């Protein structure tokens, strides 16, 4: 049934490269925003906080296809934001590589924010207070005390974003489409090859890569977390 499990075709390599690119870019963009929002939710009280929290967590519970559809409604060529970008910058966002990244960002955002928020909540405020008595401004307190102490949560948040992006399917296929070499990430490529009879070996090769990438991400997360825990105690 499976003929060659180790020789990858150019199209398969494309899917792998594309998946990694989407996952890395997503992690890169999502992290700073999630740190900011996570801190806000952990440390500040403001009007409508419960509503904001609920809204931010929406992509976590909505079916990803729905998220993709909503993105399409916002960024489609004829939709309001999509039309704006197309007219002023000539960017067509839906069904393009950026759309795949945006879809990954939106679905992974609540996961990352949650992880970071929890770890910031666990940082003892007394350390922040001590830092202020030592002459540190609020910004310095955040970067020299809060963030380093919350680092395990930030790192596991980053890994979550990366892993979630690697596995993203529903929002991507409905918002970015399934365009080989541009938006066809690993899950989409697996789905496509499943549809074609006689492609079992190709499907299996992509599945194996998927498993390996996810494993590396998880083991890496665990390793980093241990390293930080050791450093702290």
CB-wise, 7 or 133, nearer to other proteins?
Answer: 133
Distance CA 202, CA 190 (A): 8
Closest approach of other proteins to the CB of residue 114, in Å? 23
Other C-beta atoms lying within 10 Å of the C-beta of residue 107 = 26
Q: What is the DSSP string of 148-203?
A: HHTHHHHHHHHHHHHHHHHH--HHHHHHT---TTTT--HHHHHHHHHHSTT-HHHH
Q: What is the DSSP letter of 78?
A: T
Closest approach of other proteins to the CB of residue 107, in Å? 32
CB-wise, 23 or 123, nearer to other proteins?
Answer: 123
Closest approach of other proteins to the CB of residue 62, in Å? 37
Closest approach of other proteins to the CB of residue 138, in Å? 8
Q: How far is CA 61 from CA 56, 67, 158, 172, 175, in A?
A: 11, 10, 20, 16, 18
Q: Please classify residue 156 by burial: count the beta carbons closer than 10 Å to its beta carbon, then call 0-12 exposed, 13-18 middle and 19+ buried.
A: buried
Q: Which residues of this protein are in contact with other proteins, per CB under 8 A?
A: 126-127, 129-137, 144-145, 148-149, 151, 231-233
Q: What is the DSSP letter of 142?
A: I
CB-wise, 79 or 136, nearer to other proteins?
Answer: 136
CB-wise, 78 or 139, nearer to other proteins?
Answer: 139
Closest approach of other proteins to the CB of residue 155, in Å? 14
CB-wise, 21 or 132, nearer to other proteins?
Answer: 132
């Amino acid at each position: 049934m499976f003929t060659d499990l180790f020789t990858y075709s150019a199209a398969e390599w494309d899917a792998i490269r594309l998946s990694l690119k989407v996952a890395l870019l997503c992690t890169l963009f999502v992290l700073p925003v999630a740190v900011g929002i996570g801190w806000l939710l952990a440390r500040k009280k403001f009007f409508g906080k419960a509503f904001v929290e609920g809204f931010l967590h929406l992509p976590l519970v909505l079916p990803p296809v729905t998220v993709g559809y909503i993105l399409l409604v916002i960024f489609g060529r004829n939709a309001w934001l999509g039309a704006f970008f197309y007219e002023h910058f000539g960017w067509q966002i839906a069904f393009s590589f950026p759309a795949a990244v945006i879809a990954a960002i939106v679905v992974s955002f609540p996961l990352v924010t949650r992880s970071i928020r929890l770890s910031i909540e666990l940082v003892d405020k007394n350390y922040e207070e001590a830092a202020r008595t030592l002459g540190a401004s609020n910004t310095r307190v955040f970067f020299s005390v809060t963030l380093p102490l919350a680092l395990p949560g930030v790192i596991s948040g980053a890994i979550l974003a990366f892993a979630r992006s690697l596995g993203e399917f529903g929002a991507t296929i409905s918002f970015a489409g399934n365009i080989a070499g541009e938006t066809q990430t690993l899950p989409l490529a697996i789905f496509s090859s499943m549809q074609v009879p006689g492609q079992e070996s190709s499907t299996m090769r992509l599945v194996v890569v998927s498993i390996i990438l996810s494993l590396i991400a998880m083991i890496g997360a665990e390793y980093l977390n241990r390293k930080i825990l050791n450093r702290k105690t």
